[in-house]
């Protein structure tokens, strides 16, 4: 995206609501899903930031809510999981449609075909096949997942990601998840900021742009996001400053906010 498309949004007209992706955004990409390294102060920084934002901070992720709870323990955050197919607000129970028995059959078939470094990630209400450790198996993974999508039918969709393809309930998207949260307290009436790094985050960028908010892409690559930040380490440094009482980032077109 050329620099002249990085339109400075100007000062916010209302206080911000912060929506954060997890993998590739709050933690660096790792070889496998369970190998990510969470900075020891990440959960504390997010908790302090949430207090500064009067509670208006949520994680919007492809991970299950339970995985985010584990990574950020003992803190609990509002989490839209599985690209929006799950929602759990702090102090409330998990909201999600019932797990689909047909997906169990898909997981079994995918596991039976799991070979040569492909990783099948069973997320309960969705399933992902990763080829990061076996790039030459990408085509095989795509064929397997396309077949499962056809078997499951129109209630399901495929989601592209970084060296991964996921099967999700068709209505789930990060844009819909952010739109839903923006109708609730304490998010309603605020300026939404969404920070993410991947194809699935483009739905979220579109949603916050349409709502007059701020879309921020972490790292390089084509994106509709209007702002850039170099990598998860740069973002964490920025969130630390904000949580510690510094000026909110992404209000002006500041060079340090861009890669
Ligand atoms: O929406 P996100 O929070 O960014 O989650 C998207 C997917 O992230 C994970 O996979 C990605 O990160 C892994 C760990 O770095 C990496 O090994 C993999 O190649 C990436 O695709 C996670 O495993 C998925 O469940 C999430 O949907």
pLDDT at 256 over 50: no
Could you tell me the CA-to-CA distances from 49 to 20, 77, 166, 236, 250 in Å, in that order?
A: 12, 11, 31, 12, 15
Q: 93-97, 137-141, 158-162, 245-249: which range is least confident on average?
A: 245-249
Distance (Å) from CA 207 to ligand 1 centroid = 21
The per-residue pLDDT for range 174-225, each reduced to its tens digit, is: 999 999 999 999 999 999 999 999 999 999 999 999 999 999 999 999 999 9
Confirm or reject: Cβ of 162 under 6 Å from ligand 1.
yes
pTM: 0.93
Please check whether residue 243 is in contact with residue 48, taking contact to mean a CB–CB distance below 8 angstroms: yes
The answer to whether the Cα torsion of 47, 45, 63, 259 is positive or negative is: positive
Domain boundaries, the chain: 14-95+172-257, 101-168
Indicate the average pLDDT of the chain.
92
Q: Which ligand 1 atom is at minimum distance from the Cα of 132? A: 19
Give, to the nearest 10 degrees, the angle between helix 174-181 and helix 201-210: 40
Q: What's the 231 CA to ligand 1 centre distance in angstroms?
A: 15
Please classify residue 73 by burial: count the beta carbons closer than 10 Å to its beta carbon, then call 0-12 exposed, 13-18 middle and 19+ buried: exposed
> Which atom of ligand 1 lies closest to the CA of 22?
3
- With tokens 């997320």, the residue in question is 123
Do the interacting molecules here have an ipTM over 0.90?
Answer: yes
Q: Mean pLDDT throughout 61-75?
A: 98
Fold exhibited by the domain 14-95+172-257: Rossmann fold (3.40.50)
- What is the C-alpha to C-alpha distance for residues 218 and 229, in angstroms, rounded to an integer? 5
* pLDDT average, residue stretch 140-159: 97
Catalytic status, residue 34: no
Contact of 242 with 49, CB cutoff 8 Å: yes
Q: Around Cβ 256, how many Cβ atoms within 10 Å?
A: 10
223 vs 239: CA distance, rounded Å: 22
């Amino acid at each position: 995206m050329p620099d002249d498309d990085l339109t400075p949004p100007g000062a916010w007209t209302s206080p911000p609501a912060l929506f954060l992706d997890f993998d590739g955004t709050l933690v660096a990409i790792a070889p496998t899903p369970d190998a990510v390294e969470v900075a020891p102060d990440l959960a504390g920084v997010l908790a302090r930031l949430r207090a500064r934002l009067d509670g208006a901070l949520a994680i919007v992720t492809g991970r299950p809510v339970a995985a985010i709870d584990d990574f950020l323990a003992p803190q609990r955050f509002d989490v839209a999981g599985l690209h929006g197919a799950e929602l759990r607000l702090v102090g409330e129970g998990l909201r999600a449609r019932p797990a689909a028995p047909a997906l169990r059959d898909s997981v079994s078939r995918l596991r039976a075909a799991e070979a040569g470094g492909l990783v099948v990630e069973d997320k309960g209400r969705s399933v992902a096949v990763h080829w990061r450790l076996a790039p030459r198996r990408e085509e095989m993974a795509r064929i397997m997942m396309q077949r499962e999508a056809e078997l499951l039918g129109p209630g399901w969709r495929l989601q592209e990601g970084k060296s991964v393809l996921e099967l999700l309930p068709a209505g789930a998207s990060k844009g819909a998840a952010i739109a839903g949260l923006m109708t609730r307290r304490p998010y309603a009436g605020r300026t939404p900021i969404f920070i993410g790094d991947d194809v699935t985050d483009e739905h979220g960028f579109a949603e916050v742009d349409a709502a007059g908010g701020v879309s921020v892409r972490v790292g390089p690559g084509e994106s509709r996001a209007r702002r850039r930040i170099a990598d998860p380490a740069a973002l964490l440094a920025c969130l630390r400053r904000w949580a510690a009482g510094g000026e909110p980032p992404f209000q002006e077109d500041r060079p340090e906010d861009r890669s």
